[in-house]
Amino acid sequence: MTEQEIKLVEAARAAQKRAYAPYSHYQVGAALLTASGRVFTGCNIENAAYGATVCAERVAVFKAVSEGERDFEALAVAASGEDMASPCGTCRQVLYEFAPHLILYLTGGRGQRVEKVTLQELLPRAFGPAYLMEEC
Ligand code: THU
């Protein structure tokens, strides 16, 4: 891994520590690298009304978009479970909207292993903006 990739994973791990997960006790952190070189982090933020919970990945994306960034290159996700982190379906869809060619670095609570995957692998045959921009 390059130094930049390692730093991105470390930023996800740092964000994971800020997770607010009193119900699931499953802490997730995300770090999103923009084409301009900025990094936006996110953590999961749960709510007593469970449906109001937001995942770490979407917090990072929404922070970035609301700050004027829409061009994303890579996302690191760190989760507390024994398994590798794996973004939920809703987050995959939200990521696809802005970054169909996104690269992801996933890591779990055990050890230092980091798995590199593409969004295309996680969300094949995705429905995206192109479907709605086609001329009829
Ligand atoms: N969660 C994330 O933040 N990201 C994922 O990739 C999977 C799930 C959160 C949502 C909720 O706070 C907790 O993990 C359990 O679902």
Largest CA distance in the chain: 51
Interval 22-71: pLDDT, tens: 999 999 999 999 999 999 999 999 999 999 999 999 999 999 999 999 99
- Strand locations in 1-136 (E): 28-34, 39-43, 72-79, 103-107, 114-118
Got the DSSP string for 38-70? -EEEEE-B--SSGGG-B-HHHHHHHHHHHTT--
Domain hosting 117: range is 3-133
The domain total for the chain is 1
User: CA 22, CA 88: separation in Å to the nearest integer?
Assistant: 19
User: CA 73, CA 85: separation in Å to the nearest integer?
Assistant: 18
Q: Which of 5, 10, 46, 57 is catalytic?
A: 57
CATH number of the domain bearing residue 109 = 3.40.140.10
Is any atom of ligand 1 closer than 6 Å to the C-beta of 26? Answer: yes
Interval 6-24: pLDDT, tens: 999 999 999 999 999 999 9
The question of whether 57 is a catalytic residue gets the answer: yes
**How close is the Cα of 133 to the center of ligand 1, in Å?**
31
Probe target for ligand 1 pocket from 53, 58, 93, 105, with the most ligand atoms within 8 Å of CB: 53
